[in-house]
Chain A
Amino acid sequence: MGKSFSYLIEILTKYFLGFWAVFTGLLFPFVVFLILLYESKLAIQNFGLINFLMSTKWDPVRESFGALPMIVGTLISTFIAILLAAPISIGIAIFITELAPSWLKGIFTTAIELLAAIPSIIYGMWGFLVFAKYMREDIEPALQKIFSPFPILSQLFSGNPTGIDVLTTSVVLSIMIIPFMSSVVKDAFNLVPSVMKESAYGLGATKWEVVKDVVIPYTASGIAGGLILSTGRALGETMAVTFLAGNVPQIPKSLLEPFTTITVALANQFTEADTPLYLSSLFYLSLFLFVISFGVLILAKLMILRIEKRWKK
Chain B
Amino acid sequence: MEKVVLYRRKLISKVMLFLSFIAAIYGLFWLFWILGTLFLSGFKHLTLSLFIEDPGPPGIEEGGLRHAFIGHAIITFIASVIGVPIGIFSGIYYSEYGRDSKFFKVLRNITDVMVSTPSIIMGAVMYALLVVPFKHFNALAGCLALAMLMVPVISKTTEEMLKLVPFTLREAAYALGAFKWQLIKDVVLRSAKIGILTGVLLGMARISGETAPLLFTAFNNHYLSFDVFKPMASLTVTIFDYAMSPYEFWHNQAWAASFCLALFVLILSIFAKTLVHSNFGWVKIFKRKKGQRN
Q: Which residues of A contact B (CB under 8 A)?
A: 6-7, 9-10, 13-14, 16-18, 20-26, 28-29, 32, 35-36, 38-39, 87-92, 94-96, 98-100, 108, 110-115, 117-126, 128-130, 175, 178-179, 182, 206-209, 211-212, 229, 232-233, 235-239, 242-243, 263, 266-267, 270-271, 282-283, 286, 289-290, 293-294, 297-298, 301, 305
Contacts and interface: CB of A to CB of B under 8 A. Distances in A.
A14 to B, nearest CB: 6
Interface residues of B, number: 88
Given A7-B179, A13-B180, A90-B23, 17 more contacts: A17-B89, A20-B90, A21-B98, A24-B107, A26-B107, A32-B121, A32-B122, A88-B23, A89-B23, A91-B24, A119-B265, A120-B209, A206-B10, A207-B13, A236-B116, A286-B121, A297-B116
What 3 A-B pairs are tightest by C-beta distance, nearest first? A236-B118, A91-B23, A119-B209
B27 A112 contact: yes
A20 B109 CA distance: 15
15 contacts: A17-B90, A21-B90, A24-B87, A29-B114, A91-B19, A91-B22, A99-B17, A114-B270, A128-B244, A179-B27, A207-B13, A208-B17, A236-B118, A270-B123, A301-B112
B233 interface: no
A92 B180 contact: no
B128 interface: yes
B118 A238 contact: yes
Interface stretch (B47-55, B58-66, B190-198, B254-262): B254-262
B254 A236 contact: no
A95 B211 CA distance: 33
Nearest to B21: A95
A24 B155 contact: yes
Nearest to B206: A117
A115 B27 contact: yes
Chain B's interface: helix, strand, loop or mixed, by majority? helix
A247 to B, nearest CB: 11
B165 interface: no
Contacts of A263: 118, 120, 212
A28 B151 contact: yes
B24 A239 contact: no
Interface stretch (B29-37, B167-175, B221-229): B29-37
A236 B13 contact: no
Contacts of B265: 117-119
A271 B273 CA distance: 38
Contacts of B21: 91, 95, 99
Given A6-B179, A32-B125, A95-B21, A209 B87 contact: no
A163 B186 CA distance: 58
Nearest to A271: B216
B14 to A, nearest CB: 8
